[in-house]
Structure 1
Amino acid sequence: MADRDPILVARVAATERAVARFRNRPFGWEVRRTCIHLARAQARALGHRLPAIPDFRSPRGARTALRAQGCDTLDQLLDKFFPRIAPLAAWVGDLVIMAGGDEFDGIGIVAGGKILGYHEDYLADGLVNLVPTGDAPFIGAWRL
């Protein structure tokens, strides 16, 4: 145990706490369980101070809130708060955005060889392991 990096150990513990708040809880616009809520919970767990998320309860409301921040996409929003990194350089607890099939792309948390997030085919299941597919599955990654 003495040879473990204390920063990595702390990141793992913080990530486990943030993920526990969303695990086995379905995605829901009206209950504020979306990928941006997940990302904010993770960032706060790692000590970042961020502004409150506006109260939106639909994809349209989320788009309006995003534009109010001067952003058209989720990656532009994350660029405002965190340094962008190469996806393969992500550590436990960092955020990634993967291409989504619906109106929004999906934010996931890097968690020990997995990427945890909401998937449009499994919204009722809560967080799932997101599997990168295709030639360019990542839109970006951010160091928290």
Structure 2
Amino acid sequence: MRQENNLLVRQRAVDACLARFSGQPLGWGRTDCVKLAALALRKQGVPVPMLKGLRYRSAVGAAKALEALGHDSLLAAMDATGLARIAPAAAWPGDIVGLPANDDQFDVALTLAIGNGRVFGLIDGAFHPSRPLKFVAAWRVG
């Protein structure tokens, strides 16, 4: 069986994330940056078993869930996935990009690289594309 082109897989993952999250407001445990990253990873064939059955409905609940998984930050949790850290400017569509969080409880807001220096994530309370000026980290998917 022939392996599918990596760029096509990445584009389908981006399309699925855009279809699922575009315009959606923040909904802890349903439509948040962790759920966005998890969908992007799954659509690219990367399992995320640590999130199976994980439930939370608030920022406090999300922080407690993160701690229960053994991580003190989203940055540490992403590093624990085994994905390689890359320079944010080198992100391809489908890679995960961490931006400075607007929330005191979290060190990073996870977004999805969508191409041409743009990311897709929570912007002013809802999911939209943007062209950020500050980055914290990025991870290569695949």
Which range moved further: 66-75 or 38-47? 66-75
Counterpart AA for 2:114: A
**Could you say which residue in structure 2 is the equivalent of 1:39?**
37
Structure 1, unaligned runs of 5 or more? none
Helix, strand or coil for the counterpart of 1:118?
Answer: strand
**Could you say which residue in structure 1 is the equivalent of 2:76?**
76
The 5 Å alignment of 1:1-144 reads 6-29=5-28, 32-51=30-49, 52=52, 54-81=54-81, 82-103=83-104, 104=106, 105-113=108-116, 114-119=118-123, 121=124, 123=125, 126-133=126-133, 137-144=134-141
Aligned-residue offset at 1:101: 2.0
Change (3 A) 1:53 1:72: farther
Runs of 4+ in 1 over 6 A off after TM superposition: none
Q: Percent identity?
A: 36
CA offset digits 1:38-84 (Å, max 9, x no partner): 10001000001112151000111111111112211111101011221
Structure 2, unaligned runs of 5 or more? none
CA offset digits 1:12-33 (Å, max 9, x no partner): 122111221111222112x611
CA distance in 2, matches of 1:42, 1:10: 10
Q: Number of aligned pairs?
A: 132
Greater percentage in strand: 2
CA offset digits 1:113-142 (Å, max 9, x no partner): 2100002x2x2xx31123323xxx211100
State the TM-score, normalized to the length of structure 1.
Answer: 0.84
